[in-house]
Amino acid sequence: MTNDLSTAPETDRDDRDLVLHAVRRSGLTIRHASARLQADREVVLRAVRQNGRALEFASDDLRADRKIVLAAVGKWAIALEFASVGLRDDRDVVLRAVRKWGVALKHASARLRADREIVSVAVKRNSAALKYASDDLRAEFGAGDGGRQLGTGAVTLSRGDVADDVAATD
């Protein structure tokens, strides 16, 4: 039994047991499975639990399945990119993604990119997420920022800011 479906004959790519075994070892193997198995809920769920990016190769119907998308973003936050439009507008799904990696905010709906709590969680996780927030929240969160934001969520102060702070204490 092979785990490499890329070179397998079509009959193997449509063999449910073989594909279930293969995606257990490498979720991305689902990309070589038949369309029928890319639409099989159990196969896709097993694939995304192994590698969230496997959501990219799931059928459209399963990209709209909340349980599957939650499992995918729990493993790899950026899988939110491959979720249905409706689930990219689902508060719980987006919160799960941005708690894992703030920059997943990039793939949230415009409505949720304007949600103060979601943006706050995303920016606390990774300050680079701020660039994906709504204009209003970007201005609000960016206002009063005395430093340069780093992708790690850290903020550095420029030498001028440090000199101003020292002069103020003299």
The full DSSP string for 156-169 is EE-HHHHHHHHHHH
Q: What is the pLDDT of residues 73-120, one digit of tens each?
A: 999 999 999 999 999 999 999 999 999 999 999 999 999 999 999 999
CA distance to 114, 123, 134, 136, per residue, from 94 (Å): 12, 13, 15, 19
Q: What is the pLDDT of residues 15-74, one digit of tens each?
A: 999 999 999 999 999 999 999 999 999 999 999 999 999 999 999 999 999 999 999 999
Contact predicate 39/66, CB 8 Å: no
Encoded amino acid at 120, one letter: S
Beta bridge partners of residue 151, listed in sequence order: none
Contact predicate 50/23, CB 8 Å: yes
Q: In angstroms, rounded to a whole number, what is the distance separating the alpha carbons of residues 133 and 118?
A: 9
